[in-house]
């Protein structure tokens, strides 16, 4: 502690002050709005002047039969997204890494990460047309394979899979870049040594390449877990409809419908707070897991 | 203390009035009334001038709903912030309006809700329906929070005769609707009751298939089936739809919804209606609703409704009409302008006609209350009568009683532009209209064409419409804009004015505590089950389960609360 205030390090601490002030004003202070979740909001009295409501809003959320459904949908969709967004980019990066043609590698890399820059409004519009009863997907399935036309975006069986797979299509190229960067960090002498020992391509992959990027995989997995209750408002909101509420309604869309559109701010805050608490617990858990299994620590 | 202040105010008022000489009279009497406005109604107040100019400029803040579509229609150099209407209002009353913020669409809704939540109201503004929240609910919310000025006295003193006449024509029900505990807190609009949902169809298709004009829902179903199956456009391909409809908002007030159909079956979804015993019930849960859903399910089974209608919204459905693939829709009198207008431009040969969906000898019409918007004044604003004066001016202009503005609209810069834009620098227009305004106009047209009246019975606003209609009748389809106007007025409004209407009102537009919590769940459930029944995914008997579940999830409690509140209002 004494060391902290030593003269020579003092100016560093002073330099930290503006940043600290920013965090206080824009990150910590607005957090006080959380108190709304425990209030019966009266506009004229403001958030802090309104009477307390105790745990009324939380009780309503927990008693609400919708909550189970929404939580289930959120977890399924977001775990689906997390898992696919680990596996697909890793496999893809490994495959690209085996390529020898540099220009081809570059082109593929660019092409697959282009969709990342499209907005979900655009992608959802395209998907709606492509997946409609008269769209190309149904046409191919029907005329080539004889399947009955499916109303993909109106069916509870298909909706989640479409959400997860279209998310992978849009985002995997972006994560691939990170893995490719990690791959360049592996010491080439390891490969040479393995070759001398007579290792084949697959053995090199399993014993050098994969362990080499295991750290990065663990890091990205851990980081993505903090958003486990965030299944992607933009995407779901643009693609869902009443028919798929059963499988597609997630926390964010429910909060939007009940909170903003019906002006139930207290309820929306309560759900948001519950969301954060659960996320926090999950982050702590996964962090300790990452430490235990991958010996990985951020701090 | 209060009493003393009041007495001195009254004394001052008398002195000022007594001293005022002839030339200065207007100004002084206005000043006196500014004081008088806050005095109790039984004070012998000076006769207030509904259009009186203030001696000193009165500044007020407001908000603007700056619809970008409307903005395009401003004449060159004009905008929401600066246009001749706003200037006229400001100079004629000697006021100055400053918008606190401007927004549009969902941004507007969010800002509006936040504005109430943060108690940051402008001085004078208009409360409209925001998304699914009715204007009345917002009004009540602000009244409960004590945010609004009492307008009882200033309305009595300042409302113009034209406005009072309109309110009298609906037995002052609109005013009652804006009152709480006998006091007026918002200046209500009164709407033209031309909310009839009718069948628009391709008469040329109907004639080609040798079918009779539709009268009931059964006729509608038969025609839709024929339009789907019998190749009405004669191109040899099975590419036509039956009834063009959308399921994203089943019973909203937009065109393409199924409102008109279920109303004809005496079902009023999303409305609180009286049952036989005089109690309020939720229209979505009545047995009539079940019958209507059964018929719709039959239509879906017949293929008369597009199989993916549940995933479509109005814009998507409009494409079917515009591309000549659909020849029948449910909508309102103005639909020839949109969406049918697109089709007319595309294929001028199409012949459109409108028919009412009859229930016995009348057509059923579901209505929100007489008014769906209110002009309100923030509590503590010094000149509450200004809101009344603004409304007086809007009303005078809507009946073309302001020569300066009329000149602009007939010969000046507003001649070619659209009158739907925001004109006054407020978020919308609120000018009470007679509940049968358009019907009155069409009746005049009918009389002139029948030769029982001369053209001089038309007022300034009606004349240009009549000219368009007449030139269409003389030269059919020479000018497609005239054709659209003709269709909207003689066909669409013709249905409104010539059919006996049975107007049903939503008897409860407020919000109860349980409603606040459960409404999202209940409306999701309703839309889902109704769509599943129509699409044949569930049997019609699922409706009974829906009612049970609806009651269990809060509907029963809501019905009880609604009836309690309703009883209190009586």
Contacts for A114 with CB less than 8 Å, ≥ 6 apart? A173
What's the confidence (pLDDT) of residue B449?
A: 93
Across residues B543-559, what is the average pLDDT? 95
From chain B, the residues in CB contact with A46 under 8 A are: 118-119
The rounded distance, in Å, linking the Cα atoms of B157 and B386 is: 12
- Of the candidates B518, B550, B536, the one whose C-alpha atom is nearest the C-alpha of residue B310 is B536
What's the confidence (pLDDT) of residue A40?
A: 82
Å from B420 to nearest chain A CA?
A: 26
From chain A, the residues in CB contact with B550 under 8 A are: none
- Of the candidates B561, B529, B38, B2, the one whose C-alpha atom is nearest the C-alpha of residue B290 is B529
The rounded distance, in Å, linking the Cα atoms of B399 and B366 is: 27
Contact criterion met (CB < 8 Å) for B528 and A151: no
B121 pLDDT higher than 90: yes
Give residue-wise pLDDT tens across range A81-120: 999 999 999 999 999 988 888 899 989 989 998 999 999 9
What's the confidence (pLDDT) of residue B520?
A: 83
Q: Is B113 on the interface with A (CB under 8 A)?
A: yes
Q: Specify the 3-state DSSP secondary structure of A196.
A: helix
Closest CB to A133: pick one of B116, B141, B308: B308
The rounded distance, in Å, linking the Cα atoms of B194 and B438 is: 7
The rounded distance, in Å, linking the Cα atoms of B300 and B535 is: 6
Q: Is B239 on the interface with A (CB under 8 A)?
A: no
- Of the candidates B389, B363, B395, the one whose C-alpha atom is nearest the C-alpha of residue B377 is B389
Q: Is B527 on the interface with A (CB under 8 A)?
A: yes
From chain B, the residues in CB contact with A128 under 8 A are: 311
Nearest CA in chain A to B514: A60
Contact criterion met (CB < 8 Å) for B310 and A265: no
Å from A46 to nearest chain B CA?
A: 7
The C-alpha angle with vertex A244 and arms to A243 and A250, in degrees rounded to 5, equals: 135
Å from A262 to nearest chain B CA?
A: 7
Closest CB to B528: pick one of A132, A242, A257: A242
From chain A, the residues in CB contact with B145 under 8 A are: 42-44
- Phi, psi of B506, deg, nearest 5: -75, 110
Closest CB to A241: pick one of B248, B516, B532: B248
Å from B387 to nearest chain A CA?
A: 22
The rounded distance, in Å, linking the Cα atoms of A64 and B517 is: 10
State how far the alpha carbon of A207 is from the alpha carbons of A98, A199, A210, B264, B425, in Å: 15, 9, 6, 74, 72
Sheet with B374-377, strands from edge to edge, namely B124-127, B374-377, B187-188
Contact criterion met (CB < 8 Å) for B131 and A41: no
The enclosing H or E element of B377 equals strand B374-377
Å from A208 to nearest chain B CA?
A: 50
For A205, how many CA atoms within 13 A lie in the half-sphere containing its CB? 11
B2 pLDDT higher than 90: no
Nearest CA in chain A to B112: A263
A58-66: long-range pairs with CB below 8 Å, 24+:
A58/A270, A58/A274, A60/A267, A60/A270, A60/B517, A61/A267, A61/A270, A61/A271, A61/A274, A64/B521, A65/B521, A65/B553, A66/A249, A66/A254, A66/B521, A66/B524
Burial of residue B19 (CB within 10 Å: 0-12, 13-18, 19+) is exposed
Contacts for B169 with CB less than 8 Å, ≥ 6 apart? B190, B434, B435
* CB neighbourhood size of B494 (10 A): 22
Higher-scoring residue by pLDDT: B28, A99: A99
Å from A236 to nearest chain B CA?
A: 14
Helix residue ranges per DSSP H, B103-192: 105-117, 135-144, 152-158, 161-169, 173-177
Least confident among A16-20, A254-258, B321-325, B368-372: B368-372
Contact criterion met (CB < 8 Å) for A265 and B119: no
- The position carrying tokens 């995997």 is A172
What's the confidence (pLDDT) of residue B33?
A: 42
- Of the candidates B327, B363, B359, the one whose C-alpha atom is nearest the C-alpha of residue B196 is B363
Contacts for B24 with CB less than 8 Å, ≥ 6 apart? none
Give residue-wise pLDDT tens across range B231-276: 999 888 888 999 999 988 889 888 899 999 999 999 999 999 999 8
Contact criterion met (CB < 8 Å) for B516 and A262: yes
Q: Is B553 on the interface with A (CB under 8 A)?
A: yes
**Contacts across the A-B interface (CB distance below 8 Å):** 75
State how far the alpha carbon of A34 is from the alpha carbons of A37, A57, A267, A272, B138, in Å: 6, 13, 11, 9, 24
> To probe the interface with A, which of B116, B143, B524 has the most A CB atoms within 10 Å?
B524
Across residues B142-160, what is the average pLDDT? 93
Give residue-wise pLDDT tens across range B180-236: 888 999 999 888 888 899 999 999 999 999 999 999 999 999 999 999 999 999 888
Provide DSSP, B124-140.
Answer: EEEE--BTTB-HHHHHH
Across residues B516-525, what is the average pLDDT? 84
Cα torsion B562, B564, B565, B568 to 10°: value is: 150
φ/ψ region of A199 (left if φ > 0, alpha if ψ in -120 to 50, else beta) reads beta
State what percent of residues in chain B have pLDDT above 90.
53
The C-alpha angle with vertex A49 and arms to A43 and A53, in degrees rounded to 5, equals: 85
Q: Is B237 on the interface with A (CB under 8 A)?
A: no
Q: What is the pLDDT along chain A (299 residues), one digit of tens a residue?
A: 455 566 777 888 888 999 999 999 988 888 888 888 888 877 667 778 888 888 888 887 888 778 889 889 999 999 999 999 999 999 999 999 888 888 999 899 899 989 999 999 999 989 988 998 888 999 999 999 988 888 899 889 999 999 999 999 999 998 898 899 999 889 989 999 999 999 888 899 889 999 888 888 888 887 787 777 888 899 999 998 888 988 999 988 988 887 776 667 888 888 888 888 888 888 788 778 777 766 766 65
At residue B1 the predicted structure's pLDDT band, cuts being 50, 70 and 90, is very low
Across residues B16-38, what is the average pLDDT? 40
At residue B32 the predicted structure's pLDDT band, cuts being 50, 70 and 90, is very low
The rounded distance, in Å, linking the Cα atoms of B500 and B364 is: 9
Kindly report the average pLDDT of chain B as a whole number: 85
Partners of B352 in the β-ladder: B202
- Of the candidates A166, A173, A165, A170, the one whose C-alpha atom is nearest the C-alpha of residue A91 is A173
- Give the relative orientation of helices A210-225 and A156-184 as an angle to the nearest 10 degrees: 130
From chain A, the residues in CB contact with B119 under 8 A are: 43-44, 46
The rounded distance, in Å, linking the Cα atoms of A161 and B339 is: 35
From chain B, the residues in CB contact with A257 under 8 A are: 520, 524
Nearest CA in chain A to B109: A261
Higher-scoring residue by pLDDT: B506, B73: B506
Q: Which B-chain residues 471-510 have CB contacts (< 8 A) with chain A?
A: none
Lookup: tokens for A295? 């010996």
Q: Is B311 on the interface with A (CB under 8 A)?
A: yes
* Complex confidence, ipTM: 0.76
From chain B, the residues in CB contact with A151 under 8 A are: 307-308, 311
State the DSSP code for B539: -
At residue B21 the predicted structure's pLDDT band, cuts being 50, 70 and 90, is very low
Q: Is B315 on the interface with A (CB under 8 A)?
A: no
Partners of A127 in the β-ladder: none
Contacts for A244 with CB less than 8 Å, ≥ 6 apart? A153, A154, A155, A156, A159
Contacts for B128 with CB less than 8 Å, ≥ 6 apart? B65, B135, B372, B373, B427, B428
Contacts for B541 with CB less than 8 Å, ≥ 6 apart? none
Q: Is B552 on the interface with A (CB under 8 A)?
A: no
Q: Specify the 3-state DSSP secondary structure of B373.
A: coil
B9 pLDDT higher than 50: no
Nearest CA in chain B to A134: B308
Lookup: tokens for B428? 């919308």
Cis ω on the peptide bond leading into residue B339 (within 30° of 0)? yes
- Of the candidates B193, B171, B174, the one whose C-alpha atom is nearest the C-alpha of residue B184 is B174
What's the confidence (pLDDT) of residue B419?
A: 52
- Of the candidates A268, A245, A46, the one whose C-alpha atom is nearest the C-alpha of residue B517 is A268
Closest CB to A44: pick one of B146, B248, B521: B146
Partners of A20 in the β-ladder: none
Higher-scoring residue by pLDDT: B163, B17: B163
Contacts for B502 with CB less than 8 Å, ≥ 6 apart? B359, B362, B363, B364, B365
Q: Specify the 3-state DSSP secondary structure of B326.
A: strand
From chain B, the residues in CB contact with A42 under 8 A are: 145
Q: Which B-chain residues 32-51 have CB contacts (< 8 A) with chain A?
A: none
From chain A, the residues in CB contact with B521 under 8 A are: 64-66
Residue A177 and residue A146 in contact, taking contact as beta carbons nearer than 8 Å: no
Contact criterion met (CB < 8 Å) for A254 and B133: no
From chain B, the residues in CB contact with A130 under 8 A are: none
What's the confidence (pLDDT) of residue B364?
A: 95
The rounded distance, in Å, linking the Cα atoms of A80 and A7 is: 52
Å from A263 to nearest chain B CA?
A: 7
Give residue-wise pLDDT tens across range B446-490: 999 999 999 888 887 788 899 999 999 999 999 999 999 999 999
From chain A, the residues in CB contact with B110 under 8 A are: 260
pTM of the entire predicted model: 0.75
Residue B414 and residue B84 in contact, taking contact as beta carbons nearer than 8 Å: yes
The rounded distance, in Å, linking the Cα atoms of B543 and B564 is: 27
Residue B555 and residue B522 in contact, taking contact as beta carbons nearer than 8 Å: yes
What's the confidence (pLDDT) of residue B463?
A: 87
Contact criterion met (CB < 8 Å) for A241 and B311: yes
């Amino acid at each position: 502690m004494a060391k902290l205030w030593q003269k020579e390090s003092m100016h560093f601490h002073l330099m930290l002050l503006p940043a600290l002030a920013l965090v206080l004003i824009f990150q910590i202070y607005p957090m006080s709005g959380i108190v709304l979740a425990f209030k019966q909001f009266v506009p004229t009295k403001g958030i802090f002047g309104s009477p307390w409501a105790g745990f009324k809003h939380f009780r309503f959320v927990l008693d609400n039969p919708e909550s189970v459904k929404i939580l289930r949908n959120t977890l399924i969709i977001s775990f689906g997204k997390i898992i696919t967004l680990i596996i697909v980019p890793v496999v893809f990066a490994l495959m690209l890494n085996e390529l020898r043609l540099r220009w081809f590698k570059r082109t593929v890399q660019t092409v697959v990460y282009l969709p990342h820059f499209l907005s979900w409004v655009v992608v959802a519009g395209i998907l709606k047309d492509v997946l409609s009863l008269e769209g190309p997907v149904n046409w191919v399935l029907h005329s080539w394979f004889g399947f009955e036309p499916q109303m993909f975006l109106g069916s509870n069986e298909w909706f989640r899979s479409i959400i997860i797979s279209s998310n992978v299509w849009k985002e995997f190229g972006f994560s691939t870049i990170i893995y490719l960067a990690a791959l360049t960090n592996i010491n080439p002498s390891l490969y040479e040594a393995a070759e001398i020992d007579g290792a084949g391509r697959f053995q090199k992959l399993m014993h050098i390449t994969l362990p080499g990027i295991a750290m990065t995989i663990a890091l990205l997995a851990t980081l993505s877990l903090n958003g486990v209750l965030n299944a992607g408002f933009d995407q779901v909101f643009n693609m869902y409809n009443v028919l798929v509420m059963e499988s597609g309604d997630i926390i964010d869309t429910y909060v939007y419908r009940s909170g903003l559109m019906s002006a139930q701010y207290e309820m929306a805050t309560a759900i948001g707070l519950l969301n954060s608490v659960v996320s926090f617990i999950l982050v702590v858990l996964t962090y300790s897991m990452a430490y235990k299994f991958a010996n990985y620590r951020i701090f | 203390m209060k009493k003393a202040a009041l007495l001195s105010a009254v004394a001052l008022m008398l002195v000022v009035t007594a001293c005022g000489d002839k030339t200065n009279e207007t100004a002084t009497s206005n000043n006196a009334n500014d004081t008088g406005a806050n005095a109790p109604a039984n004070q012998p107040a000076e006769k207030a001038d509904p259009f009186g100019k203030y001696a000193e400029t009165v500044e007020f803040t407001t908000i603007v709903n700056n619809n970008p579509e409307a903005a395009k229609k401003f004449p060159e150099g004009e905008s929401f912030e600066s246009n001749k209407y706003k200037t006229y209002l400001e100079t004629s009353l000697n006021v100055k309006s400053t918008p606190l913020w401007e927004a549009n669409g969902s941004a507007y809704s969010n800002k509006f809700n936040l504005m109430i939540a943060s108690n940051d109201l402008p001085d004078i503004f208009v409360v409209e329906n925001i998304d699914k929240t009715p204007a009345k609910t917002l009004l009540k919310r602000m009244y409960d929070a004590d945010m609004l000025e009492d307008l009882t006295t200033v309305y009595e003193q300042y409302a113009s005769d034209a406005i009072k006449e309109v309110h009298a024509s609906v037995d002052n029900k609109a005013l009652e609707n804006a009152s709480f505990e006998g006091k007026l807190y918002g200046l209500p609009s009164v709407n033209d009751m031309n909310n009839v949902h009718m069948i628009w169809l391709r008469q040329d298709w109907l004639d080609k298939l040798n079918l009779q004009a539709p009268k009931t829902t059964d006729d509608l179903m038969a025609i839709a089936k024929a339009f789907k199956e019998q190749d009405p456009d004669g191109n040899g391909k099975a590419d036509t739809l039956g009834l063009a409809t959308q399921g994203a908002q089943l019973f909203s007030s937009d065109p393409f919804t199924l409102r008109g159909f279920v109303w004809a079956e005496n079902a009023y979804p999303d409305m609180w209606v009286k049952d036989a015993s005089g109690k309020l019930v939720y229209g979505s849960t009545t047995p009539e609703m079940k019958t209507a859903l059964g018929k719709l399910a039959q239509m879906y089974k017949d293929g008369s409704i597009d199989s993916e209608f549940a995933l479509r919204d109005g814009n998507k459905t409009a494409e079917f009409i515009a591309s000549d693939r659909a020849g029948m829709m449910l909508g309102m009198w103005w639909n020839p302008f949109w969406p049918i207008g697109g089709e007319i431009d595309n294929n001028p040969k199409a012949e459109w006609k409108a028919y009412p969906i009859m229930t016995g000898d009348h057509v059923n019409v579901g209505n929100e209350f007489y008014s769906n918007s209110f002009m309100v004044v923030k509590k503590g604003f010094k000149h509450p009568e200004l809101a009344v004066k603004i409304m007086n001016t809007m009303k005078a202009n809507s009946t073309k009683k302001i020569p300066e503005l009329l000149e602009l609209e007939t010969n000046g810069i507003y001649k070619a532009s659209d009158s739907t834009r925001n004109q006054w620098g407020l978020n919308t227009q609120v000018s009470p209209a007679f509940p049968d305004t358009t019907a009155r106009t069409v009746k005049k047209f009918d009389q002139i064409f029948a030769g029982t009246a001369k053209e001089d019975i038309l007022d300034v606003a009606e004349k240009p419409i009549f000219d368009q209609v007449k030139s269409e009748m003389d030269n059919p389809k020479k000018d497609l804009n005239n054709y659209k106007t003709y269709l909207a007025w003689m066909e669409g409004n013709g249905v409104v004015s010539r059919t006996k209407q049975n107007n049903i009102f939503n008897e409860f537009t407020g919000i109860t505590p349980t409603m606040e919590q459960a409404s999202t769940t209940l409306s999701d459930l309703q839309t889902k089950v109704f769509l599943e029944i129509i699409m044949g995914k569930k049997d019609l008997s699922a409706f009974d389960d829906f009612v049970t579940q609806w009651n269990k999830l809060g509907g029963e409690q809501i019905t009880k609360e609604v009836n309690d509140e309703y009883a209190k209002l009586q």
